């Protein structure tokens, strides 16, 4: 039994934001309305929050782990350590592993690996196509029965229009969504940075920003045709966001997320060929970054995901054009998002909504809320505590952070899974 005292309770799902106390019993939330002068229940361990924020554990709806196949980059266990250091208690993991998560046994394996950590809930995505190769549909029904939370080919776009149509249609029958990496692969092939003046000046092969807009436009048409639920990951351009905004107004079952690099950094972050800032999609011009910030504020973007992509040092220690894309983000997800709160673009409740209740709702899982009977997956953090991101000193195995050297405000004090302290 735990009693959190002197905390600021913030629950975006209900709009709760007030000083209070919270009682945990049996791994679940037992009470949120204990009077301030009431004695602690017998046998309860009292945690004095000192005015810190107590919110639901974060729900990260887009992350990669190296397991199976690339354990030298990261394992489920090391990813869990990174996650809880950033207040994340639920992780939806992408299927583009080796082998790909296109077999029900692998879905069950990843769920079990998450349970073994006793730190996080792991929700595997099932591959849309066999091997995530974009050629033949995987057994979506069997993957769903085994516990796949949704379907995607992860970091690979589903390029074949007919396959994407079939995926949306079949997934609709299982009441599941299809998540797309919105980047036309034929336009992106061989590219390393967003096409434009900076890429030209650095001599880097460019990827036109239109590669994102084109695939978003196509898939919105397919969503209208099939009635399927469609989700776009890490949306990063103004043009794509405007298409999604209009589709929502038209009533389509479409959602999207973005990741912290796309609202906190712009393409100048690669200016000295910093391979840690080579991402997929690539960082964009400042005008697109501002469009992402606006879309967070107006509700066009439904969630913020870490886009965690662990890489080995040798994957990044290459000339920029040859270096692997991707950056880690679990440990910095909350703090970088809070920069939008400190900057006045989002309220604290709105920012946490994008990290908790809304992604949980999209995925259809029991997480992301403070309510009687809900799992006691909790994050206790000080929104004002300053720290600096330092690659090599983050929790977890992989250290390829695009935020290396970034000064941030907002530090996790402790993370709890089912009422058990797993960090801090």
Q: How far apart are CA 95 and CA 125, in angstroms?
A: 6
For 121-221, where are the E strands, in sequence order?
A: 121-124, 126-127, 151-152, 177-180, 193-194, 206-207
β-bridge partners, 178: 151, 230
Nearest to 184 by CA among 212, 207, 218, 156: 212
Burial class from Cβ neighbours inside 10 Å (0-12, 13-18, 19+) for residue 217 reads middle
Instruction: Determine the length of the chain.
Output: 424
Looking at residue 411, the DSSP 8-state letter turns out to be E
SS3 143: helix
Instruction: Indicate the Cα dihedral angle 296, 211, 335, 79, nearest 10°.
Output: 130
Nearest to 414 by CA among 24, 12, 126: 24
- DSSP codes, 67-97: TTT-TTT--HHHHHHHHHHTTEEEEEE-S-S
Q: How far is CA 95 from CA 66, 196, 231, 319, in A?
A: 10, 32, 16, 28
Q: How far is CA 260 from CA 169, 193, 333, 352, 364, in A?
A: 31, 17, 7, 13, 23
How many C-beta neighbours within 10 Å does residue 225 have? Answer: 11
Q: What per-residue string of b and e applies to 119-148 under the rule 16 or more CB within 10 Å gives b?
A: bbbbbbbbbbbbbbebeebbbbbebbebbb
Active site residue 307: yes
Catalytic residue among 153, 257, 302, 307: 307
H or E segment and range at residue 349: helix 348-355
State the catalytic residues: 307
């Amino acid at each position: 039994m735990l009693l959190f005292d002197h905390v600021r309770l913030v629950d975006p799902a209900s709009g709760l934001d007030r000083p209070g106390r919270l009682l945990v019993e049996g791994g679940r939330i037992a009470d949120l309305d204990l009077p301030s002068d009431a004695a602690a229940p017998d046998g309860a361990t009292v945690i004095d929050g000192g005015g810190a924020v107590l919110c639901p554990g974060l729900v990260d709806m887009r992350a990669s782990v190296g397991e199976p196949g690339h354990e030298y980059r990261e394992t489920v266990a090391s990813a869990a350590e990174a996650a809880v250091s950033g207040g994340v208690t639920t992780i939806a993991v992408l299927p583009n592993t080796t082998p790909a998560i296109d077999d029900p046994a692998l879905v069950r394996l990843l769920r079990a690996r998450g349970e073994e950590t006793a730190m996080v809930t792991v929700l595997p995505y099932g591959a849309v196509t066999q091997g995530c190769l974009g050629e033949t549909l995987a057994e979506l029904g069997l993957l769903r029965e085994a516990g796949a939370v949704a379907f995607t080919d992860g970091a690979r776009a589903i390029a074949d229009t007919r396959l994407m149509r079939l995926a949306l249609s079949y997934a609709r029958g299982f009441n599941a969504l299809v998540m797309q990496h919105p980047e036309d692969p034929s336009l992106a092939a061989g590219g390393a940075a967003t096409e434009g003046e900076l890429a030209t000046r650095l001599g880097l092969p460019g990827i036109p920003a239109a590669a994102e807009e084109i695939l978003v436009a196509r898939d919105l048409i397919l969503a209208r045709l099939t009635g399927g639920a469609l989700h776009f990951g890490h949306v990063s351009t103004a043009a794509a966001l405007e298409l999604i905004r209009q589709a929502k107004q038209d009533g389509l079952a479409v959602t999207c997320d973005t990741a912290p690099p796309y609202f906190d950094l712009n393409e100048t972050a690669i200016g000295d060929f910093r391979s840690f800032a080579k991402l997929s999609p690539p960082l964009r011009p400042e005008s697109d970054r501002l469009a992402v910030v606006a879309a967070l504020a107006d509700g066009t973007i439904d969630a913020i995901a870490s886009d965690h992509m662990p890489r080995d040092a040798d994957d990044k220690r290459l000339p920029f054009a040859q270096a692997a894309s991707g950056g880690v983000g679990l440990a910095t997800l909350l703090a970088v998002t809070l920069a939008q709160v400190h900057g006045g673009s989002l309220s604290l409740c709105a920012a946490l909504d994008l990290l908790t209740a809304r992604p949980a709702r999209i995925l259809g899982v029991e997480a992301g809320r403070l309510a009687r009977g809900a799992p006691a997956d909790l994050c206790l953090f000080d929104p004002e505590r300053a720290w600096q991101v330092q690659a090599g000193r983050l929790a977890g195995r992989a250290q390829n952070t695009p935020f290396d050297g970034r000064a941030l405000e907002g530090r996790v004090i402790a993370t709890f899974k089912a009422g058990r302290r797993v960090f801090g």
